[in-house]
Amino acid sequence: MRSKFDEQLVTLNNALIAMAEVVEKAISDTNEALINQDVKLAEKIIASDDEIDNREEEIEDLCLKLILRQQPVASDLRLVSSILKMITDLERIGDHATDISEITLLLSDKKYITKLEHIPQMAEATMKMVTSSIDAFVKRDLDLAYQVISYDDVVDDLFITVRDELIDMINKNSANGDQAIDLIMIAKYFERIGDHATNIAEWVVFSLTGIHKHKI
């Protein structure tokens, strides 16, 4: 009975890793489309959101079947319930990649009012957070999960830098207003991606310790 449960957990882990890889690529492609004002790539990202949604549904179905058929208890149930939470955050990250790509399309025929420097840094940081949070889950690495949670400060600081620079540009020239607001929104979406990666890491902590930050 236990061996069957373990086999299903392996299947579940593999499905989670595969979903995370699709999400990581969406973040990477979103960043590339934004920097290069690549309309085709932005449209591809928007279209690929359905794949992320479908993967979420498949994993959710696997989790529910495992709970109903195997009736896991204690740490095993905590593990499966944590996966259910993680895939929700991964799906929302995919949504934010789509949100950014939609703004990229709006800006595709306009010259950027400033060199994109800190926003791509935010994208790289959030990709690192997503990858590390999933690695922490797969490896059952509590220290790595805590590192992801702490690293969210890097993304938050970059967002503040982007926001302040763009607000200053608006104050100096109101003609920059519309695009500056769009770029602030893009930075905010990347900041939210960091928050979701943090959530995933917090669910890793919960799966290993039974303690969740917001339940203390």
Q: Could you give all domains of the chain from N- to C-terminal order, each with its CATH number?
A: 2-215 (1.20.58.220)
pLDDT for res 2: 64
DSSP assignment of 156-195 equals: HHHHHHHHHHHHHHHHH-GGGHHHHHHHHHHHHHHHHHHH
In tens, the pLDDT along 63-74 reads: 998 888 887 788
In tens, the pLDDT along 149-201 reads: 999 999 999 999 999 999 999 999 999 999 999 999 999 999 999 999 999 99
pLDDT for res 4: 78
> Cα(43)–Cα(40) distance, rounded to whole angstroms?
5
